Amino acid sequence: MKQFNLDHLATFAKVVECGSFSAAAEKLSLTQPAVSLQIRQLEKRLGAALLERVGRKVRPTAAGDELLGHADRIDDAVTSAVESVARHAAETIGNVRLGTDNTVTIFLLPPVLGALRQRYPNLEISVSTGNAADIVKAVEENRIDLAFATLPVSGRALEVTPVLDDAIVAVARRDMTLPNRLTAANLAKLPLLLSQPGSAARRITDRWFARGDATVNPAMTLGSAEAIKAMAIAGLGCGILPAMAIDQESREAFVVRPLSPPLKRTLGLVIRKDKRLSKGLKAIYDALLGLRRG
């Protein structure tokens, strides 16, 4: 209730317990006038008489009995709330909302977040996936706390910190012939498996082809690196995707080649400048920043 004073409620309960204002004042280390004032203020706030004198004892009125029935539950709820908040000061807990892309989620985050959960077992992490533009917008609108996104990213309210570079490579099934030097011109002649238009990876790839004066007509556009790998292993074309997505199993199944000239994407942390770093958020921010090389 707005402006409901919990100290006044505690004083009321103590008066009922003791049966007198003076005894309650002694127990609470207050003066009797101070106790009487608190009871009057509580009665004024609730609009009802809470105590009555019967003989030499003070007893609760019917309204006072009703309030007393709630007092213990209110006290328990307040104690629980205080203890819960105190845990935040003592350890890293809470829910942190992280946004990134599918490739980072699958191939980079598991060991990072696994180590964090080992260190902070009460830390809850919600991971949202999407394209860079969408997750950065979610940071701006405070729908997520932190993004690990493909750069560049801009925004007056944002703090952007580059963390690591991830090469863009070509992959093909081992029985598919690839030129030794994968330039934009000779790649454009192959059936290509590319990321969907509008994605950060596709924009980077398209700019690379444009610099090489090559026109691209992909055989297929797909929504994830895993989908590109699946279509490549099926022999449907040559995939262009982040090197991060090439694990040991993929290296055994594919021919993996760098592009010429080399192409990369830069991943970085994006957070609002005015974002308060809770212990949980700082732990995740520092863990991802720890991936910085050199």
pLDDT for res 195:
94
pLDDT for res 1:
46
Residue 259 lies in a domain: yes
Q: 71-85, 203-217, 243-257: which has the minimum mean pLDDT? A: 71-85
> 157 and 171 in one domain?
no
If we measure between CA atoms, which residue out of 146, 135, 106 comes closest to residue 278? 146
pLDDT for res 154:
87
Gyration radius of the chain over CA positions: 32
> 245 and 176 in one domain?
yes
Please provide the average confidence, as pLDDT, over all residues in the chain.
90
pLDDT band of 265, cuts 50, 70, 90: very high
Q: Tell me how long the chain is.
A: 294
CB atoms under 10 Å from CB of 196, counted, come to: 14
Predicted confidence (pLDDT) at residue 151 exceeds the cutoff of 80: yes
Q: How many domains does the chain have?
A: 3
Q: 77-81, 92-96, 142-146, 189-193: which has the minimum mean pLDDT? A: 92-96
CB atoms under 10 Å from CB of 183, counted, come to: 15
Helices and strands (H and E) in the chain: how many: 12, 10
> 76 and 150 in one domain?
no
Residue 294 lies in a domain: no
State the number of CA atoms in the 13 A half-sphere of 184 facing the CB: 16
- Rounded Cα–Cα distance for residues 223 and 171 (Å): 16
Residue 253 lies in a domain: yes
Residue 1 lies in a domain: no
What pTM was computed for the model?
A: 0.68
pLDDT tens-digit profile of 21-58?
999 889 888 899 999 999 999 998 888 999 998 888 89
CATH number of the domain that 18 lies in? 1.10.10.10
pLDDT tens-digit profile of 206-243?
999 999 999 888 999 999 999 999 999 999 999 999 99
> 253 and 221 in one domain?
yes
Residues of the domain holding 24: 6-90
CATH number of the domain that 127 lies in? 3.40.190.10
What's the mean pLDDT in 235-262? Answer: 91
pLDDT band of 278, cuts 50, 70, 90: confident
Last residue of a domain, one of 90, 121, 140: 90
What DSSP line would sit under 20-80, residue for residue? SHHHHHHHHT--HHHHHHHHHHHHHHHTS--EEEETTEEEE-HHHHHHHHHHHHHHHHHHH
pLDDT for res 275:
93
